[in-house]
Amino acid sequence: MPLLLLLLALADTPAPVKVLVAYHSTGGHTAALAKAVEAGARQAGANVTLRNVADVKCDELRATDALIVGTPVYWSNMAGQVKTFFDRFTTECQFLPPAFPMKDKAGAAFVTGGEVSSGKEIALMTILAAMLGNRMVVVSEGQALGAAATTGEGKDPLTEKELAEGRLLGERVAVLARTLKRGRSPD
């Protein structure tokens, strides 16, 4: 292949989008769903980082094209650890209006909870609300507001349907992030 064409082809191959999957897990269920989300995003060609929420750095948030946040449900809401993660956006990362450094990044949520209607949807909704307040672009996949696994008394592994929905969520966010990046890039 002539050198010029090769260079053009390379230039046309966009860098893969970065997807950050941040979660908290105590018993391992949310970690398992996080891995499914990660696998879906990777399969879609994204450069995926999987992190415990406590370990996410402000620079990682600034650099990512997409953020997917997962939590177990405690009392119809995200875990305190995950709420504290969002609070660090302000206190540690200084993600304040009107700058909104997370603006226009893709976002989504996933949860695990011990009963069918144990507060999973409220938890999903509050994660999405935090993202919308940061002016992110949010989507769901799997269930109405994101991926969700019902973990009973915490003993059973996730079902294949639940893991498949996690992968779908990761894939959808990766594709959205790439579409947004490509749509914003100069010709």
Per CB under 8 A, contacts with a copy of itself among 90-109 are: 90
* Among 41, 46, 139, 174, contact with a copy of itself (rule: CB under 8 A): 139
The CA distance from 166 to 14, in Å, is 25
SS3 at position 77: coil
- Residue 18 is inside which H or E element, if any? strand 18-23
* Among 37, 137, 163, 174, contact with a copy of itself (rule: CB under 8 A): 137
* Among 3, 10, 15, 184, contact with a copy of itself (rule: CB under 8 A): 184
Nearest by Cα to 61 from 89, 38, 90: 89
Rule CB under 8 A: is residue 52 a binding residue for a copy of itself? no
Rule CB under 8 A: is residue 54 a binding residue for a copy of itself? no
Contact 124, 69 (CB under 8 A): no
Contact 45, 172 (CB under 8 A): no
Chain contacts with a copy of itself (rule: CB under 8 A): 12, 74-80, 83-84, 86-87, 89-90, 115-122, 124-126, 128-130, 132-141, 143-145, 148, 150, 176, 178-184, 187
